[in-house]
Structure 1
């Protein structure tokens, strides 16, 4: 004999109490299920009436149930353990009040994660990494790294889980968060345990541990031990199709859809049943390229969940080793008659998905078995209202009112029990079942237990199984609900760098939510938020509006469909730390936009752009301010209408560089029209230069006065001054007056062709105006970087010299010819000479013509220009060297140039060629003769010879200056 009552007990218990026999188990009701925390409700007795419940709550306890009930069987136990989640003391038992009844509920450490809620963000982790982090934190923070816990993860899968960009635990328990993640991704869990340690096993499929009693046979005998004693095969039609649709804004096209149909035969499934879900929850990956495969995996998991519920197996047994998460096999026993067989269920493997059991121990008190059972039942039911959800407790809750009525009738029920420990009498058991079963139909373990007669085993269970078939995967029911965010929240913008604006290519930013408890010195706050999209008033493909929140700003974050994993920044709000840009309420009628330059150096004043509206009646104002460069581009007509005055002030200092400005650059590509309806006042404090390439006409319809403080010159090819009444030239007392009556000359001395020193005009040096620089057109976006700004367009100032027109020095020779310079003579009558000299003067006003005339006059040779008689038909001109040999050998020769100016332009063959062009051509021949460079080498093209080729080149340069079309060759004019 032993002193310990538990030594020979069927159920043995270990607690934190010093006395190992302080609590003796009289009954256990247990519930186990895949992906549900187990619950063990223990009915106990103790001779100690004062066990303190507070001492027991949260403590660890373990118990053992003997696997064989025969007296001669080896003492082999199955261990169970858990944390005490409920403990209560009850009534006194037995005739002499030797014992007090106690009850206790044990749950795994994982179930305690259902206590308390949390907010936290996981970023760039896959689902297993997230679960691992949560469980490790739980072991460390909640259980102080107790060795009794083992939250190990075992995943046997050929697939890798994709990395989630953003996953939020929002106002939910660790238990719900981990459970819903597992359900979403097709993971499920169960427990392996002893009486001293528990291990959480998370898997996404087989292999499952084989039950040590496998294989088993179906033996319906009520006295059978170690076999399946009842068996039910059930079918429940399910949906044939699941479809997920979601928007992945990082992809084009953004919308995508994935569907999966079941492999269940159509005749056994719901007709045309489809579950369509949006959003599908698959647009959450760090790498959006994996979205399609991720979506296929999620929708396949849901259809596999449907298939799991389609076909179930259930039964009863007395196998103590049965545990949720194990597999077993049903076979035919050698001694089993064919009448007891179910052949179609044999030779298959099954996964135990739920196990509910009862165990009784009547050795410690004089209570009858019925009393023990009913007290255990009462303990299970009354504690079930608070238990972690499970198959038994859910049923208990639903039937609790009726069950309580039955329990209140305990004295009458107990009186029906006809025996002490050892079992129910047949009639008593039948009566008890008749009373209880109508109220306890939802509790699957009680009805079958009460029906057992005449000697029920101390342990019995009911179970459900799922067949393990090729191509079919077990998936737990999805019962955990994802929390919803009821409305917008505020958050603070954070950046990954020290920049004031931290964003990515989509204009997304990171924030720290107000509920984020990240502490200084810990992880950087930006790691607790992914990039969030920012709602803009307008968002098109490469067009729209862009205002990005800056670091430190308080923003308003809403959640699409209330999903905490789909945040969206919808606005910004002011606070005491971030006051509005305008002083309120003083300027409450003002609206607008004020930006801020970044980064600002220490000591910098506030720098900003601003657009402001003032709607104060009588003081309405639109204000535009640019802190730096302002660019305006109009690809169409630009209109500006001012109904009052227009003020343009150009000048001042740049506050950043200190440089002074004040220049105006204006380039007009077409006409410039300006109409001033009243007076015009214009003042220039410096130089005034005007270059006009075309004609200049002044229509002055009133008085015109010009006062020149220094010298004034006028240089033109021809100058005409005409007055209808009088012209006066006056210097001191000398003057010349021209009026209709005559010419009056008056001076101290009047000399004609007898001396005097005339003044002369000179060349004018001019600074060319700078063209305006082009405004940044906005496209390309880096236009300024590629086109550095300058003070004016064109790359800097240029200068040119305006050549003054000086008439040719013409004198009369004794032979009647006119001498033009040193080497040119003009013969013929007065009219011919006047025409040729005018053409030479016109030629002299061009750069090319003047260069040719000056060069010829420096050769020492003489060119005589004379009329060609009779005039040739068709018109022509000739330059003939006096000495043909010297004209080609470098010595040089005089030339005679025969030319009739009145034949040009010629309407037949040269309608657009003026006479001076023809004259320039022949004078160029004479220039070659004078230098002795005439080259008559023939050519194969239409220039005929090198002389014409060498002459037409300079001629075309002259034509360009005169605005005459170029010659193509010698045969064209």
Structure 2
């Protein structure tokens, strides 16, 4: 063994397993004369176990990791038995839980960023397909490890580990070329009970499992308001599997992404559709390595190890020292994809967010009325501007083609965010709420009888600048207020009726113009006076018609402080009773 704890430990046996896209797990049984307090201090330290033969006929196998668990048994002899659990540093990323968002980065960028935050070794990137650039990705109440596993699967990427004497590191892969060769690479299948020599496989079998052969995914493109259905099939040519189909709906509307998801799902089924199992004494094999099998017909075929179980006893525990390696392999030509068991988290409730945008804008929306948001729990180092959010749809009370309602939440507004199908990556704003900075329109509880709408002029608008529609439901003092700090336009294509049961006042600060294009203007006062007071001139012009003033049951007067002129182009007639003057 190698590392600081070596002087305290005498290894007896190592046993554990490795699986693609999972942290490895090994237990090392040791003898030690140290007490529990001394041994417990080893937790969190690095340790490497080297496996090899005394003659150095075959290469050594290194298993390097961090001690995550120590089991101590106080025996009756001078030395006690302890069991150390060895796992990758990556395992520590599964201990916590975080909620944050990522935008404008690739999957590999996220993995590198997270590992860097935890001061872990940068993964080796062996990707032969360009990882997709993600506009928006939410990590919701997930450990960093679960989040990494999930987004890698979504991108069709898996990982394995490479060990050496001093370290171990993670390898991101998506193609058979990314896998290293085992050394020695050639293993010969020799089914014999007496064969227990390295370099030979003594048991070899194949397993075929019935899987779905077709995947159909339906998404919805909100910009085109159209459904998108993608169908993809397995590369398995056996017709007896064609009746099994995987059908689902997803909230995504990007045809390329839907196709990638469908291909990833079918690839995950194909990965387990046919596998091979082997048993050997070749301790140097590691998960993720390629080897060439020479079968009984002396034919060669290349495989990749997808999982293995390894148990090796030291020559101290056994006079000979033995090893057993049971592994599962896949055809090296198969595209490997391994689904994360937990899957994507579902957000069943509502989250709070704040609308964001450029500092110069009060309203920041695209052509579809979508806005950008920042969740209140967002990481300040990664979010907080209009560039850190996808465009988020806004629910309206009523929508239609050229009709409905339109209220765009303004920058700084606190909004309620739900998620389509509970998917963290597809938020939708369903409402907005007041808070300590943005208080209710009317001071409460004093004005609890009031409700309505108050807008504010954009770009540095002040209180009172905008429009108001206010309803006051106070008993016996009910009132509706409609006001505008700018212009007011009322357009009616047919009739308009106003029925006022009390008085009406009209105050115009500048001027008034009334135009009747066709028809009459009738003013009927059934009871009361008509008073017109003018400071200035009064001009009444009648064109191609008559003008008459009739006073019934009363007298009439025409008074002028100065000159009074009556002029007619034909004649003037004054008549009193039966007398008249022409």
Q: Shorter-chain TM-score category? A: over 0.9
Q: Distance in 1 between matches of 2:579 and 2:234?
A: 114
Name the counterpart of 1:247.
Answer: 220
Q: Distance in 1 between matches of 2:58 and 2:187?
A: 22
CA contact (8 A) 2:21 2:158 kept: yes
Q: Distance in 2 between matches of 1:174 and 1:605?
A: 46
Name the counterpart of 2:268.
Answer: 305
Q: 2:159 aligns with which of 168, 189, 192?
A: 189
CA contact (8 A) 1:492 1:513 kept: yes
- Secondary structure of the corresponding residue to residue 487 of structure 2: coil
Q: Distance in 2 between matches of 1:607 and 1:722?
A: 59
- Secondary structure of the corresponding residue to residue 259 of structure 1: strand
- Secondary structure of the corresponding residue to residue 112 of structure 1: helix
Name the counterpart of 1:329.
Answer: 292
Name the counterpart of 2:454.
Answer: 594
CA RMSD of aligned residues (A): 2.3
Q: Which has the higher contact order (CA 8 A, sep 6+)?
A: 2
Name the counterpart of 2:493.
Answer: 635
Q: Is 1:238–2:196 an aligned residue pair?
A: no
Q: Is 1:167–2:120 an aligned residue pair?
A: no
CA contact (8 A) 1:136 1:151 kept: no
Q: Distance in 2 between matches of 1:504 and 1:707?
A: 67
Q: Is 1:262–2:234 an aligned residue pair?
A: yes
Name the counterpart of 2:543.
Answer: 693
Q: Distance in 1 between matches of 2:75 and 2:385?
A: 59
Name the counterpart of 2:355.
Answer: 493
Q: Is 1:84–2:67 an aligned residue pair?
A: yes
- Secondary structure of the corresponding residue to residue 189 of structure 2: coil
Name the counterpart of 1:664.
Answer: 512
- Secondary structure of the corresponding residue to residue 14 of structure 1: coil
Q: Distance in 2 between matches of 1:331 and 1:580?
A: 78
TM-score (norm 1): 0.56
Name the counterpart of 2:439.
Answer: 579
Shift of residue 503, structure 1, vs aligned partner:
2.4
Name the counterpart of 2:8.
Answer: 22
Q: Distance in 1 between matches of 2:343 and 2:131?
A: 21
| CA distances 1:891-918 after superposition (whole Å, capped 9, x unpaired) | xxxxxxxxxxxxxxxxxxxxxxxxxxxx
Q: Distance in 1 between matches of 2:239 and 2:460?
A: 74
- Secondary structure of the corresponding residue to residue 134 of structure 2: coil
Name the counterpart of 1:725.
Answer: 578
TM-score (norm 2): 0.92
Q: 2:304 aligns with which of 340, 351, 371?
A: 351
Shift of residue 715, structure 1, vs aligned partner:
4.3
- Secondary structure of the corresponding residue to residue 480 of structure 2: strand
Q: Distance in 2 between matches of 1:352 and 1:607?
A: 70
Q: Distance in 1 between matches of 2:324 and 2:180?
A: 22
- Structure 1: 5+ residue runs without aligned partners? 1-12, 144-148, 284-290, 333-340, 370-420, 423-456, 652-661, 729-737, 739-973
Q: Distance in 2 between matches of 1:725 and 1:267?
A: 118
CA contact (8 A) 2:59 2:284 kept: no
Q: 1:220 aligns with which of 158, 174, 191?
A: 191
Q: 2:97 aligns with which of 117, 131, 136?
A: 117
- Secondary structure of the corresponding residue to residue 539 of structure 1: coil
Q: Distance in 2 between matches of 1:510 and 1:645?
A: 49
Q: Distance in 1 between matches of 2:55 and 2:378?
A: 62
Cα distance change, pair 205–507 in 1 and its aligned pair in 2 (3 A): same
Shift of residue 512, structure 1, vs aligned partner:
2.6
Name the counterpart of 2:259.
Answer: 296
Which has more helix, going by share of residues?
A: 1
Name the counterpart of 1:465.
Answer: 329
Q: Distance in 2 between matches of 1:268 and 1:342?
A: 30
Q: How does 1:511-526 map to 2 (within 5 A)?
A: 511-518=373-380, 524-526=384-386
Name the counterpart of 1:822.
Answer: none
- Structure 2: 5+ residue runs without aligned partners? none
Q: Distance in 2 between matches of 1:122 and 1:610?
A: 40
Whose radius of gyration is greater, 1 or 2? Answer: 1
| CA distances 1:379-417 after superposition (whole Å, capped 9, x unpaired) | xxxxxxxxxxxxxxxxxxxxxxxxxxxxxxxxxxxxxxx
- Secondary structure of the corresponding residue to residue 36 of structure 1: coil
Cα distance change, pair 668–62 in 1 and its aligned pair in 2 (3 A): same
Q: Distance in 2 between matches of 1:197 and 1:716?
A: 116
Q: Distance in 1 between matches of 2:551 and 2:525?
A: 15
